[in-house]
Amino acid sequence: MSRSARGSEPSYELMDDHEGLSIIYRQHGFPCPLVRWHFHKEYELHLITASSGKVFIGDYIGNFNPGSLFLTGPNLPHNWISQLDGEEHYPQRDMLVNFTGALFESGHLVFMELKTLAPLLDRARYGIEFKDRALIVEATRLMELIAAHTGVTRLGYFLILMETLAANEDYLLLSATSATDLADENNVDRTNRAVDFIFANYGRELSLEEVAEHLSMKPTYFSRVFKQATGRSFVEFVNRLRISKSCELLADGDKPVTQVCFESGFNNISNFNRRFQQLKGMTPSHYRRLAVQRLTEQNRHA
C-alpha cells in the first residue's frame, strides 16, 4: 500500500475562523463547494442528517445514510459524496464540529477528567464510524444543542457528547493507514477530478486509459500519481467502490446477486464473487443474510 495522500489527492482546508473559540460548529448542504476530498489540522465530528452516498476516509470506501456518525483525526483526508437524482439537492445534509488537539492536550493539565478522552482521540487517527443506534439518537440531540447554543454552554454539550462517544464500544475503525501517511498537498486538482469522474462512471466499463485521457495525462503517469494519492491502484480503487455499491444493494433489497453484480459495475459474476470474497471475507449471499439479520435485530430493539 502506498504511503501518501488519498482519494482525490486531498486539498488542505485552512480554518482561520476559530476567533479564539475551542470548537467550530458548521452545517453543510449538498452540493456544496466545501464538499470535496480534503484534510485539515482539526478533528472533525460529522453527522449525516440527509441523503445517502459514499464516504471516503483515509484509504476506506464505504456507505453513509441519514444518521451516520463519524470522527476523523487531524490531517486524515475525508469526503462524503451524496448520490443524487437529477436536480435533487439538500439545503442541510450534515452537522459537524471541528476542534484541535490543543483543546485536550492543554485542557487536561487543568481538567484531569479530559484524559479519559485520549483513547477516543487516538482511534480517530484512523477514522471512526459509530454504529450504536441509541448512541446516534443521543448524539443527534447533543449536536442540535451545540448548534443552538454558544459559549461555555456549547462547550459543555460538546464535552458531554465526547464523553458519550468515548464510552461506547460499538464502532468501526475505518482506514488502514493513518493521517501521517496520507496527507499531501501535491496534485490536488487532478486527483480530485479523477475521483469525481470515477464516482460518476464506475457503474459501467471504465479503464485507466479513459480516466487519464479525461485528465489529459499519460496513463503511466496517471497510474503512479493516483496510487500515490489514494494508497491504492486504479483497479483496486474502482473494485472497492463497486463492492461498496454492491453491499448497499444487497442490504437494501432482494435483487438477485447476478443483478447486483451488473448494477455495481462488474461485468462478470465469477469476478464479482471473487472480489467480494477477498474484500468482505464472505459470499454476497452470506453478506445479505447478515445484513437482514442485523436490520431485524435493530428493529426489534428500536
188-298: CATH, from 3.40.50.2000, 3.40.1190.20, 1.10.10.60, 3.65.10.10? 1.10.10.60
Domains 11-179 and 188-298 in one fold: no
Please report the sign of the dihedral spanned by the C-alpha atoms of residue 134, residue 41, residue 60, residue 248.
Answer: positive
Nearest-angstrom CA–CA distance, 206 and 95 = 34
Give the model confidence (pLDDT) of 268-292 as tens digits: 999 999 999 999 999 999 999 888 8
Nearest-angstrom CA–CA distance, 45 and 97 = 5
Give the model confidence (pLDDT) of 37-92 as tens digits: 777 889 999 999 999 998 988 888 899 999 999 999 988 888 888 888 777 888 99
- pLDDT at residue 12 tops 60: no
Confidence of residue 242 (pLDDT cuts 50, 70, 90): very high
Cell numbers standing for residue 77: 483526508
Can you tell me which residue has the cell 464500544? 169
Give the model confidence (pLDDT) of 152-161 as tens digits: 999 999 999 9
- Average pLDDT score over residue span 187-212: 86
Is domain 11-179 in CATH 3.90.1300.10, yes or no?
no
Q: Are 73 and 127 in contact (CB under 8 A)?
A: yes
Percent of the chain at pLDDT > 70 equals 85
Domain positions in the chain: 11-179, 188-298
Q: Is 272 exposed, middle or buried (0-12, 13-18, 19+ CB in 10 A)?
A: buried
Where is average pLDDT lowest: 206-210, 226-230, 236-240, 288-292? 226-230
Nearest-angstrom CA–CA distance, 125 and 71 = 9
From the centroid of its chain, how far is CA 148? 26
